[in-house]
Structure 1
């Protein structure tokens, strides 16, 4: 099997490292339902997965009209999210073993997320993995977030390399589009929304979980297995 030339690993946060997309989906639907919005809400919330919050706010206004009570929806969303996360910040399967294997290979790694800087810092802290990364790139670091490539290009630069020499691990179709557009070796581990045909065509592989990612990287990069 051909080895990849990889100098860094770039990882999405929500839905990839942290099992938060289901939390956000549940909180979004609950907030909209509480204010009387029901028709098409589930499909609309699915379409917003992987998209930065400000872009989703515009989507909601476009969909429901100028009188949409955005402030109240955001308040209810935040309250429901906090309620769910009182039980702790859940990690996706295989996170720790993957991070350990990347460390053992001596590769730098960065979080590349559509979340805000404050949210990313708090959620990584709650999950106990905030110290595991050489850089954390958020939507606050660029003028164009995912699905544009800017975050991935900047993340590679921060780690002293170029995107084509990076493996990018994503769960969402917008994230895959961003990583691929940057030229990264893109792997997808779908979370809630399945991969589109375009995502399947642009990914090197679509994998069921991060343990499978670690196994593939072990083959292509000769990563050590966890002890």
Structure 2
């Protein structure tokens, strides 16, 4: 299963550690309605999972076409996300148990996210996870974002571990492509979008949740 000895673990953030992708989809629809537009097709909403904010905005702007104000949309979107996350950030099932296990084995942990650094640190902090990670690599730290491997390479570099000796966890096809391209031993735990055939081929295993990931790692670490 694991091709090389594991020396570190890397994690995507949204949709993998934090149950935020559904909040973002909800915010897209609320923002569109607030501007008098119809809801976006749910498939298009789901296709924004794993991409950066600017890419998501371009997809939305293209969908609604001429006359659509992306600046006004972003304001509505941001207000809704802040309101939904003000009291705290919900965790995906199994996060705490998996992090406890990996930490107990002495493995350094890092986050590799397409979010901006202020957002990543704020959300991880609200979720009570920030102190668990030795490093957080964001899109502010790299030239190219996912699906390019840069943020995973940067996360591994900050831990001082070769990428091929890192296990990585992703929920999106875009993110899985990045983790694979970085040379990590990647697992996929889908959130909103099911894995494409090429994602299944690139990852070591697709698992239903992080509880399943924990059971597997207990057998192999």
- Stretches of structure 1 that go unaligned for 5 or more consecutive residues are 222-227
TM value normalised by structure 1: 0.92
Q: Which runs of 5+ in 2 are unaligned?
A: none
Q: Cα–Cα, structure 1 residues 172 and 56, in superposed 2: closer, same or farther, change >3 Å?
A: same
Do the aligned partners of 2:112 and 2:151 also contact (CA within 8 Å) in 1? yes
2:77 is paired with a residue of what secondary structure? Answer: helix
- Post-superposition Cα deviations, 1:116-154, rounded to whole Å, max 9, x if no partner, equal 000001001101111000000011111111111111111
**Is the partner of 1:136 in helix, strand or coil?**
strand
CA offsets 1:21-65 (integer angstroms, 9 cap, x no match): 111111111111222332643222111111001111222233333
1:185-226 residue CA offsets vs partner (Å, 9 max, x unmatched): 1101101111111111111111111111111111111xxxxx
| DSSP-derived class of the 2:216 partner | helix
**What residue is the counterpart of 1:175 in the other structure?**
175
RMSD over equivalenced CA pairs, Å: 1.6
| Mapped contact 1:3–1:220 kept (Cα < 8 A) | no
Deviation, 1:90, is: 0.5
The aligned counterpart of 2:55 is 55
Normalised to the residue count of structure 2, the TM-score between the two structures is: 0.94
Distance 1:43 1:200 in 2: 20
Contact 1:52 1:115 (C-alpha < 8 Å) held by counterparts: yes
**Segment drifting more, 52-61 vs 18-27:** 52-61
Secondary structure of 1:17's counterpart equals coil
2:187 alignment partner, SS class: strand
Superposed CA deviations along residues 163-191 of structure 1, whole A, max 9, x for unmatched, are: 11110001111000100111111101101
User: Paired residue for 2:76?
Assistant: 76
